Chains A and B, each alone.
Chain A
Amino acid sequence: MNALDIAYMWDLVPVIAGYIPLTLFMALVSMVLALILSAMLAIVRVLKLPVIDRGVAIFISFFRGTPLLVQLFLFYYGLPQLFSFMTNINGVTAAIIGLTLHFSAYMAESIRGAILGVDRSQWEAAASIGMTQGQLLRRIILPQAARTAAPTLMNYFIDMIKGTSLAFTLGVTEMMGAAQKEAAGSFLYLEAFLVVALFYWGIVEILSVGQRRMEQYLGKAVAR
């Protein structure tokens, strides 16, 4: 086998780098939406709100129980057969909606776990001074749960960044799609995929540094 074509890899760097903004854009928007949605789902489950609780349980079960790629295909290529207006949803939007729904199912369970991890006495103490359920959740429980949930939520964000590589199946050329098309013309598959792998790795490493900082910050209140 031939040695790695380093010059070619170097040429690919600006090409792939040009797609970083789109990848980060999809991941960031999905993450913000998934955080909001999953917090709501988790609260519904913790408070066992009648009727909706059943619906949320089914939602989580479905989106955790099927592969992301299957969900994207269902949503993007399948459902438009029933609802023709869905054809107007473009690939980027569909990818963001797919990532949001998929990951919010997982994240809801982590947040639920974190909420349940907050000592029972905190609920009772907050209730004893007359806080409403909304107040005690917002002021007492969620801030403590956020600290416990932070590392796993960060994990899901990392997974989400990598999940954006599936958007090429929906016609969105992102980092992975760009690498595949370049490799097709040069036949230098190893080089192209290595460059794109290093990019993902680099992005995730930078985020991990941010994660450590954030954990230090959130941990201040409980540091000994």
Chain B
Amino acid sequence: MRKTILTAILALSTAVPAAAETIRVGMSGGYFPFTFTKADELQGFEVDFLNAIGEETGDDIEFVTMSFSGLIGALESGRIDTVANQITITPEREAKFAFSQPYVYDGVQVVVKAGNETEITGPESLKGRSVAVNLGSNFEEVLRHLPYADEIDIRTYESNIAQDTALGRVDAFVMDRVSSAQVIKESPLPLALAGAPFDGIENALPFRNDEEGKAMRDRVNEAISTLKENGKLTEISEKWLDIDVTKPLAD
């Protein structure tokens, strides 16, 4: 308790610009299993990943948690150097920030009741079957854009798509791969991934698009390459998600 006050007072009296060898990493602390706290200790995929990067580059990693809405503003105004919160690369963001290489490859995933994954092996096998999607997610759009969309019986759910799939009320549900893997790991329901994910998206670390930001990005990129080669990144992914989401989707 006394420490918190002391830190607050210290923080008040001294406004220290970050030393060159400190990477200030912003994250929401609110996205399990990527960033969250347990008994006040920050942990998760992103925490392990950034610490591993720090070990490679020799930089100190300083985590700053703030609500998600503040993260991009904090990056732009130079209060943090990057955001580790599963930030997806989009053309709009690429115009504004210097992204590292992707370290998580996500995509649309078909999930079925365990045992049916030999029969349903991807989006093509959904023809003539019932598929649950969450209301408000863009996965209904994704399914409707498939060339054989008329043959799929799409059911929009408010919640419990995983449970209804496990119960056999629908043949499959569709969600992003990372969340799917997490549901399978965390819930007791008998479910399995059906085939490879499709419609891939890539998540990476955004840095400020200036000299300093790009230099840091280049340093971090090198470290990510090393972590990919020596298997450390795969290890982190399997620790938190049970599967490796750090390899590009094969199409």
Give A residues with C-beta under 8 Å from B. Answer: 11, 15, 17-22, 25-26, 73, 76-78, 80-81, 84, 87-93, 96, 168-173, 177-178, 180-187
* B71 nearest CB neighbor, chain A only: A171
Q: Which residues of B contact A177 (CB under 8 A)?
A: 29, 65-67
B4 at the interface (CB under 8 A from A): yes
Q: Which residues of A contact B77 (CB under 8 A)?
A: 76-77, 80-81, 87
Taken together as a complex, chains A and B put the C-alpha atoms of A84 and B77 apart, in Å, by: 8
Q: How far in angstroms is the closest Cβ of chain A from B83?
A: 12
Q: Quick check: B74 and A171 within 8 Å, CB to CB?
A: yes
Task: Count residues of B near A (Cβ-Cβ below 8 Å).
Answer: 40
B38 at the interface (CB under 8 A from A): yes
Say which residue of B1, B17, B37 sits within 8 Å of A21 (CB atoms).
Answer: B1
Q: Which residues of A contact B12 (CB under 8 A)?
A: 90, 92-93, 96
* B36 nearest CB neighbor, chain A only: A185
Q: Quick check: B65 and A92 within 8 Å, CB to CB?
A: no
Q: How far in angstroms is the closest Cβ of chain B from A185?
A: 3
Q: How far in angstroms is the closest Cβ of chain A from B81?
A: 12
Supply 8 A–B pairs (Cβ within 8 Å), ascending by A: A80-B77, A89-B15, A168-B65, A169-B67, A180-B29, A181-B30, A181-B37, A184-B32
Q: Quick check: A19 and B4 within 8 Å, CB to CB?
A: yes
Most B CB atoms within 10 A — which of A81, A90, A186?
A90
5 closest A-B pairs (Cβ-Cβ)?
Answer: A77-B73, A185-B36, A88-B15, A171-B66, A181-B29
- 1/0 contact string of B1-14 vs chain A (CB within 8 Å): 11011001101100
Q: Quick check: B38 and A185 within 8 Å, CB to CB?
A: yes
Q: Quick check: A181 and B8 within 8 Å, CB to CB?
A: no
Interface of B is mostly: mixed
Say which residue of A17, A20, A92, A170 sits within 8 Å of B66 (CB atoms).
Answer: A170
**In the complex, given contacts A22-B4, A169-B69, A185-B33, what are 20 additional A-B residue pairs having Cβ atoms less than 8 angstroms apart?**
A17-B1, A18-B4, A18-B40, A21-B4, A76-B79, A88-B17, A89-B15, A91-B66, A93-B11, A93-B15, A171-B26, A171-B64, A171-B70, A171-B74, A177-B65, A181-B36, A183-B30, A184-B37, A185-B38, A186-B38
B31 at the interface (CB under 8 A from A): yes
Taken together as a complex, chains A and B put the C-alpha atoms of A203 and B44 apart, in Å, by: 32
Q: Quick check: A22 and B40 within 8 Å, CB to CB?
A: no
Give B residues with C-beta under 8 Å from A. Answer: 1-2, 4-5, 8-9, 11-12, 15-17, 26, 28-33, 35-40, 42-44, 64-67, 69-70, 73-74, 76-80
Taken together as a complex, chains A and B put the C-alpha atoms of A169 and B4 apart, in Å, by: 18
Q: Quick check: B37 and A25 within 8 Å, CB to CB?
A: no
Q: Quick check: B32 and A187 within 8 Å, CB to CB?
A: yes
Taken together as a complex, chains A and B put the C-alpha atoms of A15 and B44 apart, in Å, by: 18
Say which residue of A21, A89, A90, A178 sits within 8 Å of B5 (CB atoms).
Answer: A21
Say which residue of B30, B32, B66, B78 sits within 8 Å of A169 (CB atoms).
Answer: B66
Q: Which residues of A contact B2 (CB under 8 A)?
A: 21
Q: How far in angstroms is the closest Cβ of chain B from A25?
A: 5
* B38 nearest CB neighbor, chain A only: A185
Given A25-B5, A93-B12, A181-B37, do A170 and B70 touch, yes or no (CB 8 Å)?
yes
Given A171-B66, A187-B32, do A182 and B74 touch, yes or no (CB 8 Å)?
no
Q: How far in angstroms is the closest Cβ of chain B from A26?
A: 8
Q: How far in angstroms is the closest Cβ of chain A from B195?
A: 28
Taken together as a complex, chains A and B put the C-alpha atoms of A185 and B182 apart, in Å, by: 12
* A167 nearest CB neighbor, chain B only: B66
Q: Quick check: B11 and A90 within 8 Å, CB to CB?
A: yes
Q: How far in angstroms is the closest Cβ of chain B from A190?
A: 15
Q: How far in angstroms is the closest Cβ of chain B from A86?
A: 8
Q: Which residues of B contact A169 (CB under 8 A)?
A: 66-67, 69-70
Taken together as a complex, chains A and B put the C-alpha atoms of A43 and B97 apart, in Å, by: 49
Q: Quick check: B37 and A185 within 8 Å, CB to CB?
A: yes
